[in-house]
């Protein structure tokens, strides 16, 4: 299946902002009349490009997304804002659009000033190289510690025709919700009003990028953008219409696949872990338990070691803060192997059975709280020696 989305063109360039001998700058162009929706990090120290992108998105139609890798332009104060705005001004001047029609994005090292000169030299190259079939190079250009580029394409038939959705994402560390992942861009050729697009994006993000964690750290630069070019003859006027639901399902598929690829590519990760919490009092309670287990260094290192140290999971559930938790009603499984029931180790549990599950590269941890009907599921990974090494050497 081809990744191209009519009405969306992309181009990459090697600006040398931090990385040498690789593309590190991406330009995405949206056709005139297209719509754009986005969600951003909730980190109080949000990066300068996040601030500027929010401002520009509120002013009206978007034509360009300008993304650089290697420098986050975060923790840079007023100078960072000036740099982000200057990159937008440069592009707008050369592309012949309003400065507010450019949304800037950055990812990389925090606390370093973003040089503007590489943008001035690279923007003409980007504009001349725009093409609809550059999705693969775009996915590679936004990588930092990622080991693989992340690209997903999906087609869905609506009442008036078939539409395409294509998305790219970057991220492998500093991954935790309160928006999305570090950076993700999805586009479709459907015609969708901006308000509808925003609803669809927020719903998709809730069950995908906001349901993963690698290390519990929410980035300063997180952003997820959804573009609708309107270049097809297919229009979706409402999120709750039949076509709206089909489009929403397709968007959920793309975002979920990208989110899973981020977790699989977690820095130093060797295992993909699903944590499913059932019979919780409410959804917030279920998510609290799931994230407490997912963020436990002891649980994550046991996963890396393939050690069925089930007491670490039990302890994490117990300290998650669930009020009046009746431990006699709590049950926990590794895949289909019961490890906890009746307040302690399940009587049928054997170390050999637990060990067999923990050796797998994909593991399901199921937790039944026995107190309600709410459920949740999230994706995480193990914590390995390489995670420490990658992050200890990140700036060297």
CATH number at residue 77: 3.60.70.12
In DSSP terms, which residues pair with 164 in a beta bridge? Answer: 155
115 CB neighbour count, 10 Å cutoff: 16
One domain for residues 156 and 209? yes
Domain for residue 1, yes or no?
no
Domain check: are 19 and 69 in the same one? Answer: yes
Residue after which a domain boundary falls, among 213, 245, 264: 264
Read off the tokens for 83.
Answer: 């740099």
Would you say residue 320 has pLDDT above 70?
Answer: yes
CB distance 190 to 236 below 8 Å: yes
- Distance CA(320)–CA(291), nearest Å, equals 9
Average pLDDT of the chain, as a whole number: 92
Residues 89-113 have a mean pLDDT of: 96
**373 and 298 both lie in a single domain:** yes
Question: Which of the listed residues 264, 299, 323 is the one where a domain comes to its end?
Answer: 264
- pLDDT of residue 14 exceeding 80, the answer is yes
| Same domain assignment for residues 238 and 276 | no
One domain for residues 254 and 150: yes
Neighbours of 149 (CB within 10 A): 19
Residue 328 falls inside a structural domain: yes
Q: Are residues 238 and 302 in the same domain?
A: no
**Which are the catalytic amino acids?**
181
> Which domain-ending residue is among 264, 280, 302?
264
Q: Are both 293 and 346 inside the same structural domain? A: yes
State whether residue 358 is helix, strand or coil: helix
Tell whether the model's pLDDT for residue 182 goes beyond 80.
Answer: no
The whole-model pTM stands at 0.88
Provide the number of structural domains found in the chain. Answer: 2
Domain that holds residue 314: 272-392
Q: What is the pLDDT of residue 388?
A: 73
Bridge partner list, 37: 226
Rounded CA separation 66/91 (Å): 8
Q: Are residue 206 and residue 313 in the same domain, yes or no?
A: no
Q: CA 301 to CA 310: how far, in whole Å?
A: 12
Residue 232 or residue 41, greater confidence: 232
Does 142 lie in the same domain as 218? yes
**Alpha helix segments (H runs only) across the chain:** 48-59, 77-95, 117-128, 135-141, 194-206, 242-264, 283-294, 297-304, 310-318, 351-358, 385-392
Distance of CA 388 to the CA centre of its chain: 21
């Amino acid at each position: 299946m081809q990744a191209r989305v009519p009405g969306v063109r992309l181009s990459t360039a090697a600006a040398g902002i931090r990385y040498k001998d690789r593309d590190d700058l991406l330009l995405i162009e949206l056709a005139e009349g297209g719509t754009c929706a986005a969600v951003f990090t909730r980190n109080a120290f949000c990066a300068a490009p996040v601030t500027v992108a929010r401002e520009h998105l509120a002013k009206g139609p978007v034509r360009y997304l300008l993304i650089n890798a290697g420098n986050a332009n975060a923790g840079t104060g007023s100078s960072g804002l000036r740099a982000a705005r200057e990159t937008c001004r440069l592009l707008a001047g050369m592309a012949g659009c309003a400065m507010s029609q450019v949304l800037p994005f950055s990812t990389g090292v925090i606390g370093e000033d973003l040089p503007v000169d590489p943008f001035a030299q690279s923007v003409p190259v980007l504009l001349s190289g725009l093409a609809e079939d550059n999705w693969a190079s775009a996915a590679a250009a936004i990588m930092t510690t990622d080991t693989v580029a992340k690209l997903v394409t999906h087609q869905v038939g609506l009442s008036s025709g078939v539409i395409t959705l294509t998305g790219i994402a970057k991220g492998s560390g500093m991954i935790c919700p309160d928006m999305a992942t570090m950076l993700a861009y999805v586009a479709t050729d459907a015609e969708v009003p901006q308000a509808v697009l925003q609803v669809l994006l927020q719903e998709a993000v809730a069950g995908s990028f906001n349901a993963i964690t690698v290390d519990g750290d929410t980035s300063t630069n997180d952003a997820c953008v959804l573009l609708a070019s309107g270049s097809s003859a297919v229009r979706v006027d409402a999120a709750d219409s039949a076509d709206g639901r089909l489009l929403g399902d397709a968007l959920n598929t793309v975002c979920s696949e990208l989110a899973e690829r981020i977790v699989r590519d977690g820095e130093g990760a060797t295992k993909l872990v699903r944590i499913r919490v059932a019979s919780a009092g409410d959804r917030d309670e279920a998510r609290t338990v799931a994230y407490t287990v997912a963020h436990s260094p002891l649980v994550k290192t046991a996963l890396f070691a393939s050690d069925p140290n089930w007491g670490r999971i039990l302890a994490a559930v117990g300290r998650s803060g669930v009020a009046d938790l009746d431990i006699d009603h709590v049950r926990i499984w590794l895949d289909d192997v019961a490890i906890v029931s009746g307040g302690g180790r399940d009587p049928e549990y054997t170390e050999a059975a637990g060990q067999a599950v923990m050796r797998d590269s994909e593991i399901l941890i199921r937790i039944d709280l026995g107190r309600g009907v709410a459920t949740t599921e999230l994706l995480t990974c193990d914590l390995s020696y390489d995670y420490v090494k990658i992050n200890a050497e990140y700036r060297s």
